[in-house]
Amino acid sequence: MTRFDEPKGPPVREAMDLPDESRAVTEIMLTVFRINGRLLEKGDALVRTLGIASAQWQVLGAVSLAGKPLSAPQIAEAMGITRQGVQKQLNRMTKEALLEKLPNPRHERSSLYWPSEKGQRIYSEAMRRETFWARQLAEGLPGPELEGALDLLKEFHRRLEAPLPEEGES
């Protein structure tokens, strides 16, 4: 069994003594973990010939989508990655001339980053490939259901911003 195969044994709904909605949320969480792993695997394959990995693609995307230079903490927040993980990629990407390191007028020790011409070219090509891939993935899937799934995931993301409940709270 690879790390992306469906787990063996009873499904979560049978193995856990939870209300139906809680079981469904737990199954969604487990599915999102598996999807994340598969997205990183497929993303790496998609951009490998461009000389980058999914993590670098995420960083280029965060800055490009913001439309302005960002600091490491801002990139981490935008992409849901740790600041340390982002900093590791920023150091590597600056060295590989994918990003330009710029002074931050608001914080002397927290540089801003923006894609270099090389980084912009690579990001554009990565997004061209992603668009083709997304069209293939979406083929035959009903638009309203895709929109509903997106809305639900966005709501989960919003709720995950709240602090974890203390044990014993409901």
What is the domain partition of the chain in residue ranges? 1-50, 51-136
Taking residues 54-83, what's their average pLDDT?
A: 94
Position 169 scores a pLDDT of: 67
Lowest mean pLDDT among 12-16, 84-88, 110-114, 137-141: 12-16
The neighbour count for residue 111, using CB atoms within 10 Å, is 18
Tell the residue number behind the tokens 């923006």, with chain if given.
114
Contacts for 14 with CB less than 8 Å, ≥ 6 apart: none
* Whether the predicted model's global pTM rises above the 0.85 cut: no
Position 170 scores a pLDDT of: 60
- What average pLDDT is seen over the chain? 90
Choose between 87 and 4: higher pLDDT: 87
Is the torsion defined by CA of 103, 106, 111, 115 positive or negative? negative
CATH code of the domain occupying 51-136:
1.10.10.10
